Chains A and B, each alone.
Chain A
Amino acid sequence: MRRTITSKVVPLASFMGPSLSLILLFYFVPVVLTLLIAFTDMGRTLQWHFIGLYNFARLFGVGIRDPFILKIITNTLIYVAGALPVTILGGLLLSILSMRMHRGAGLFFRTVFFIPRVIPPVVWGFLWAWSFEGTRYGLFNAIRGAWGLPVVYWLIRYPMLIVILANAFLGISLAMLVFSSAIASIPRDFTRAAEVDGASEWQIARYVIVPALKWPILTMTAWHLMSFINSYVYIMLITGGGPYYATEVWGLYGYHVAFSQYRYGYGSSVMTVLVVVNMLLLVALVKAFGMRRMLGRGKIEV
């Protein structure tokens, strides 16, 4: 008996131990710490002074009010509402086009659109920042300059649009990959039957391909919804949240409060709210889609 227990525990511990301890150290401990710090007024001096619910009262405008919160929430909603459909529709469009065209050409396009996923985030961020730079050295202004057109201050005029696109292109790369492999598993006969019946490429996509992608579309929507609610990296790199809070989303605000203004206590409470929203959202999504069906086999309906 003892032998069988040890013979199970030893391989389990050696396989799962390292990753479990990493998860514990870098996910659970920080969450617990954040949760604790959220109830303090910790600042530059790193002193713990518990102040109860004061930070949260400020966040939710009870008694004292954070003047930026409403703007931050609106930004986050606009950002998610913009990036999510662009990601899903763009991913669908690219996967369908690339899977219906000549094999080699399709592979080329998918490779090109997968590049954002494999280059370092900082490179991707600065690529966008440089492309839309408001001087004549920025890519698009240089092109305009060549035609004798005046400089456009892209990042000041269209900041939200630019950060939405920069993030959506990353989302598209993953969605495209997932949708493409799903399309590849649709039996040839389905699209051929539609073709014989006279369907155009658009009709084939609409009546045959997209209905078969129901599950991949749902999973990618859930995935990117959660990803966009938490995103801040590329926004920080491209606009830094500006100009004047125009692209400051929830996650980035938390970062700025904590690490630019050194208000660790208040920053932690901002992030705690995000953690709670994530957990609620996860539960809601799992409930809505059905965990077992989401994790089970056969997501592509054929």
Chain B
Amino acid sequence: MMRISLHNLSKYFGDVKAVDELTLQIQEGEFVALLGPSGCGKTTTLLTIAGFYRPTKGEVRFSDRVVNDLPPRERNIGMVFQSYALYPHMRVFDNITFPLKIKKVPKKHWGTKATEVAKLLEIADLMDRVPGQLSGGQQQRVALARSLVKEPDLLLLDEPLSNLDAKLRITMRAELKRLQKDLGITTIFVTHDQVEAMTMADRIALLEGGRLQQVGSPEELYDLPATLFVAGFIGTPPMNFVEVSLEEVEGRLFVTTEHFRFPLSNGIAQKVHRMATSREVVLGVRPEDITIGQGKIEGEVYVVEPLGRDTLVTLRIGALGFKVLAPPRFRVAIGERVQLAFSMERIQLFDKATERSLLL
């Protein structure tokens, strides 16, 4: 079991700052996602933690010990690669016991250890096959077994679900989460898929352009995104954004556009008072925080997309487009004019210039 801390970690490739001043603490037994779009530096961070890259600046610490110069082979890490990297010329059994062979564990113990992890991952009946005869999901289990057999202090998963088909991905998401909780191994995984990160991780570190945007529990990132980027990246369908102005009338703060105007609740108004440096702000509203059929804002239905569990309605307010999640079997015709209301306690406001939240 191990605590990981990254302290001002930077990795540059020439002029490219792949990771820039990343500071992050990972607790013992925690399941942490490094989330971000491609090129955000998440994989570079993972490979730096694994020891394949030396940090340009900053430190990687394993339980208080600085490991910047420790080669990967001495870190006792288990790693599952996006491609699984199973050795094609070895049987499943030989793949799983490979780390034992390297560690010079006596041969008589291989069987028990391999069987133990194989049972855990339900691949005990595949031991004599070669990787070419396995499905993607089975290959992933074998790769996991190989990374777990040596009882690592830290488990690293690079895009663990991206090579699986959509259905299997949902199953494996739950299984991975349960497995991690059962084993209690500190685990870091990299993903570009916010749903994977939300569903599996205890905490998410969201990166963009090599910089940490926000770190927190899935709920924190969803309910109180620190930046415009986080707000737009987390959640499907994504949050609606509108550029608005703040106006103060008789001591109350109003949000105004040419199409609508509403007062802020007291709680939000207080935070905005403290934080705002300019009147130009960006309003963010999640699709599920808009109700159709009540309220003072008027819009026109542009398109209706039934999703089964709910209905996605696209509205036009003047030139502005809004996506709204309405109840299932919600009936409304294209072109119809409707009233809508925002859930006032759940709206987000961001500084237009700095793109940072005004509610933190």
CB within 8 Å of B: which residues of A? 187, 189-190, 192-200, 203, 207-208, 211-212, 214, 301-302
Q: For B88, what are the chain A residues with a Cβ–Cβ distance below 8 Å?
A: 212, 301-302
In whole angstroms, what is the CA distance A214 to B87 when docked? 13
Q: How far is the CA of A189 from the CA of B123 in the complex (A)?
A: 22
Give every chain A residue within 8 A of B89 (Cβ-Cβ).
Answer: 211-212, 214, 301
The contact sample of 8 A-B pairs, CB cut-off 8 A, is A189-B84, A193-B85, A196-B50, A196-B72, A198-B102, A198-B150, A211-B89, A301-B89
In the complex, which of the residues B83, B102, B103 has the most CB atoms of chain A within 10 Å of its own CB atom? B102
Q: How long is the Cα–Cα vector from A157 to B85 in the complex, in angstroms?
A: 51
Tell me the B residues contacting A by CB distance below 8 Å: 50, 52, 71-75, 77-79, 81-85, 87-89, 98-99, 101-103, 146-147, 150
- Given the complex, which residues of B lie within 8 Å of A196, measured CB to CB? 50, 72-73, 75, 77-79, 147
Chain B residues within an 8 Å CB radius of A199? 73, 102
Bound: A26/B329 CA distance, A:
83
Shortest beta-carbon distance from B20 to chain A in Å: 24
The answer to whether B52 touches A198, judged by C-beta atoms less than 8 angstroms apart, is: no
A192 and B85 in contact, given A197-B146, A198-B103, A199-B73 (Cβ under 8 angstroms): yes
Task: Give the docked Cα–Cα distance between A60 and B45 (Å).
Answer: 71
Interface residues of A, dominant DSSP: helix
Taking a contact as CB atoms under 8 Å apart, the answer to whether B85 and A207 are in contact is no
Q: Which of A189, A190, A192, A196 has the most CB of B within 10 A?
A: A196
A201 closest partner in B (C-beta): B73
Instruction: Decide yes or no: A187 and B83 within 8 Å by CB, A197-B102, A301-B88 being known contacts.
Output: yes
- Assembled-state Cα–Cα distance A211/B87 (Å): 9
Is the CB–CB distance between B85 and A197 below 8 Å? no
* Nearest CB in chain B to that of A192: its residue: B52
Most interface-central of A190, A193, A214 (chain B CB within 10 A): A193
If A189-B81, A192-B52, A192-B81 touch, whether A197 touches B98 (CB-CB below 8 Å) is yes
With known contacts A196-B72, A207-B98, A189–B83 Cβ distance under 8 A: yes
- Lowest 9 CB-CB distances: which A-B pairs, in order? A189-B85, A197-B99, A193-B85, A189-B81, A211-B89, A198-B73, A196-B79, A198-B102, A195-B72
CB distance from A109 to the nearest CB of B (A): 23
Residue of chain B at shortest CB distance from A203 = B102
- Cα distance A302–B147 when bound, in Å? 20
Instruction: Give me 18 other A-B pairs in contact (C-beta within 8 A), A187-B85, A189-B82, A194-B102 excluded.
Output: A189-B84, A190-B85, A190-B87, A192-B52, A192-B79, A192-B85, A193-B85, A195-B52, A195-B71, A196-B73, A196-B77, A196-B79, A196-B147, A197-B73, A197-B99, A198-B73, A301-B88, A301-B89
Most A CB within 10 A of own CB, among B74, B75, B87, B88 = B87
CB contacts (< 8 Å) of A193 on chain B: these are 79, 81, 85, 146
**Least Cβ–Cβ distance between B300 and chain A, in angstroms:** 52
Kindly state the separation between the CA atoms of A203 and B103 in the bound complex, as whole angstroms: 11
Minimum CB distance partner of A195 in chain B = B72
CA distance in complex: A194, B72 (Å): 10
Q: Chain A residues near B83 (CB, 8 Å)?
A: 187, 189
What residues of A have a CB within 8 angstroms of the CB of B71 in the complex? 195
Q: Give Cα distance in the complex from A190 to B85, angstroms.
A: 5
The smallest C-beta distance from B133 to any residue of chain A, in angstroms, reads 14
- How close is A215's CB to chain B, nearest CB, in angstroms? 12
The reply to whether B87 and A207 contact each other, CB–CB distance below 8 Å, is yes
B152's nearest neighbour on chain A, judged by CB, is: A196
What are the residues of chain A within 8 A of B84 when measuring CB–CB?
Answer: 189
The complex places the Cα of A190 from the Cα of B89 at a distance, in Å, of 12
